[in-house]
Amino acid sequence: MVRAGITPDLLVRAAAELADEAGGIEKVTVSALARRFGVKDASLYSHIKNLRDLRVRLALLASHEMNEAIGAAVAGRSGRDALVAFADAYRDYALAHPGRYAATQQRIELDEVQETAVFQRAVELTYGMLRGYGLGEPDLTDAGRLLRATFHGFIHIELSGGFQHTRPVAASWARSLDALHTTLENWGSQK
- Type of residue numbered 7: T
CB 112 within 8 A of CB 56: yes
26: left (phi over 0), alpha (psi -120 to 50) or beta: alpha
d(CA 178, CA 39): 51
φ, ψ of residue 143 to 5 degrees: the values are: -65, -40
CA 119 – CA 59 distance, rounded (Å): 10
pLDDT given at position 3: 53
**Per-residue pLDDT tens digits for 137-185:** 999 999 999 999 999 999 999 999 999 999 999 999 999 999 999 999 9
Confidence of residue 1 (pLDDT cuts 50, 70, 90): very low
Of 110, 103, 93, 120, residue with least CA distance to 54: 103
Global confidence as pTM: 0.89
Q: What pLDDT is attached to residue 27?
A: 85
Please report, for residues 7, 10, 22, 34, 35, the alpha-carbon distance to residue 40 in angstroms, rounded to integers and kept in the order given.
15, 16, 21, 6, 7
Q: What percent of the chain lies above the pLDDT cut of 70?
A: 93
